[in-house]
Chain A
Amino acid sequence: NAGVMQNPRHLVRRRGQEARLRCSPMKGHSHVYWYRQLPEEGLKFMVYLQKENIIDESGMPKERFSAEFPKEGPSILRIQQVVRGDSAAYFCASSPQGAGSYNSPLHFGNGTRLTVT
């Protein structure tokens, strides 16, 4: 039973380019969360999605960032026109039920480390 799969593991982009981060949740999980971890800091919530719906995007910057979780395929976190400050580790987590159902914790992927040069 594969865990949460994120790819790529490492991504290098130049300023102004686009970054696409992918997350395949665990089998049977329909809830996906994206977090950003800046160096030496804890995880910061960005967005919570269910299949085809954005439930909570309060932690995501209004500009340049977007997320989707289509009916088929992985969840995508997209960062347009990247800047140096976007350099961070981006973690994806999934759960079979929403965070309001507290019977199972989130399962995290290994993250994508984005470096903007």
Chain B
Amino acid sequence: EDKVVQSPLSLVVHEGDTVTLNCSYEVTNFRSLLWYKQEKKAPTFLFMLTSSGIEKKSGRLSSILDKKELFSILNITATQTGDSAIYLCAVRDNNDMRFGAGTRLTVKP
């Protein structure tokens, strides 16, 4: 059965901390892995990863994929209160996209 597992489910940190969010998957016909940030509205796209070992970076956020070990991490450095959100990992196969349950990140001032 295809599945996407994110950990931790929730995380509370203080501003300035660095966090690492994890996403492991089991998908039959893997195509790509995507990270989304969900606040009050619809999820907003962060990264799409298709190749192992290539880090994608956007400001304080970065992500990398390991297709051999079937996982990805999302790093956020120097966290800010505005980073508080649910971070969703999704994996695409040939037909569909499967989401993990998300990691709820709370950044305290």
Chain A positions near chain B (C-beta within 8 angstroms)? 4, 33, 35, 40-45, 48, 55-56, 91, 98-100, 102, 105-111
State the interface size on chain B (CB cutoff 8 A). Answer: 26
Q: How far is the CB of A33 from chain B (nearest CB, A)?
A: 7
Would A45 and B99 count as touching, CB distance under 8 A?
A: yes
Chain B residues contacting A102 (CB-CB under 8 Å) are: 31-32, 48, 50, 92
> Which residue in B88, B93, B94 is a CB contact (below 8 Å) of A43?
B88
Interface residues of B in 24-51 (CB under 8 A from A): 29, 31-32, 34, 41-43, 45, 48, 50
Chain B positions near chain A (C-beta within 8 angstroms)? 6, 29, 31-32, 34, 41-43, 45, 48, 50, 86, 88, 90, 92-102, 104
**A43-B88, A91-B42, A105-B45 known; A99 vs B101 contact (CB < 8 Å):** no
Chain B residues contacting A45 (CB-CB under 8 Å) are: 96-99
Chain A residues contacting B99 (CB-CB under 8 Å) are: 35, 42-45
Residue of A nearest to B95 (CB): A56
**A102-B50, A108-B43, A111-B41 known; A42 vs B102 contact (CB < 8 Å):** yes
Closest 3 A/B residue pairs (Cβ):
A42-B102, A108-B42, A102-B32
